[in-house]
Structure 1
């Protein structure tokens, strides 16, 4: 059975979807022959099978194995049915806790145990992870908070995810940069659906502290830009879109051009992606909230807000059909042309000139 091998983000080899469709058509014996005793191949196959088939295949894998290491099921936890994942996690936790760990390896051991604990039934998992989120060891705190948000997002309503984030942010604000950056990275991995307008206050509070901190690193700024860019790509909430644009404004105000580093100025709202968004709308128009964000930033009158606003207007003008840059957008451009900051005024003038050139005499 031929297949093209791909490498996943976790460096495990995977093959293409058509290949796994062929594997899925096999009976259990055929799949076991294909897996050939390799737990990572079993992990890849289970991820493409209906949940109802998975536990029986795991039982067959165990029965066929001459000997299994105590932690053999760890790679499978995210593809097992919840009850089986909890049972295997509990078994591995009991074994792992019974082992001796040297002092310098203790935090790593705790991190492994937290990962296993995150697959326990939800009440137990949240209790363990919440306690660990206050650990005296930064590595453990970072891991526990990330796993806690991941688990709550997987099993609880969006309101509970926000409640957990609000509780954690109170602690995170007083942490050193690496811990704040890790928390932002965890937020960037949450499902888009959990975010809403009621997230704006906590995100704004976190953003201000992160950007104004003396030790704010490029890595942390990158995590913040990723979160903002993801928001712009997927959210229609005016408040969230305004927050995301304000992230760029604050980054420019605090760090200048370095605040945006080598990533696209609007991280995910490049000219091509914005053109696709506009072209896919009937009638063609910029995404919801874009005009309000540009107007708010333009009205601030500061250099950072003006630079971001003129970038937004420029992307819309370059990406949209001529009708998309209507009177409201031209009003924003006019405001920017009157900016006291030469770079903003000049760029806004270029946008207006290009627009007039497209419209002709």
Structure 2
């Protein structure tokens, strides 16, 4: 007997910078899988033709493997993309890109997307990343669209308040529990360590705070290492800081890995120290493999995921002493650590792809 396939619904085009490198890109790849599972025809259009993550449906490359193009070349690419959108007659476009540039967004909103039903997704609390500086243009973009989807309650609230619109919806980032746990496997990585993962970009991830708190904690003296996984422009800067803090032998810089889950699963805890987030995948993926999280209470996301003392610890941001104390507490209080490990997986069950796929499906059907 063949496998039943869901009844086909509308055609959806997801627009994103790429399917490589970051949490927003991974979330878009997962969104393509969720919508396909609900019966939609999905095409993911990428500005940069780079793919690290598994996706479902078809792929359309707006650009090549690099971000910068000449003006004429860029215009021709966008013109071809407009023709592609019209030819395919998509029922809905979901734009996941960052959108800070006035000129570019006039082209996307007023030309590329003209005549199409559109949703904008905001994946960071730093709204300036997802809306252009021109407030009139941002209002016009929202007016032309079906609405804006925020991936956390805090983001949805901020969009409503800053742009005076009721056309805002909230759908959390999902976590594919079964897939992540399968990729993690059953074998733990060797050694005692804590872990943080993400792009090595200190203006966002604030790994300097993590290094300072780790140095101030009891972990180095107890031979518990810190793994930083990811690539980015600040790798040398952070390596230099680790050297100044005399942590050369205790901090390991690991390259980006599309399957970080065996490392996460083997960690005593994971840590997030960002200046700002959206709904951080690093936190929910850590909990998905049973690893508690120590996080700063940044805007936004951690406070909507972490239940202090139940699946991790939440501390005030920019406080080295508080973060160091939290690391000591979760590592050396065996009862607390065991409790948080026991609760970790169930604490993100409501974020499983099947649950969030239903939320997306319901929203799309209501709007279309």
The answer to which structure, 1 or 2, has the higher relative contact order (CA under 8 A, 6+ apart) is: 2
The structure carrying a bigger helix percent of its residues is 1
TM-score, with structure 2 as normaliser = 0.28
Task: Decide which structure has the larger Cα Rg and report it.
Answer: 1
The structure carrying a bigger strand percent of its residues is 2
TM-score, with structure 1 as normaliser = 0.29
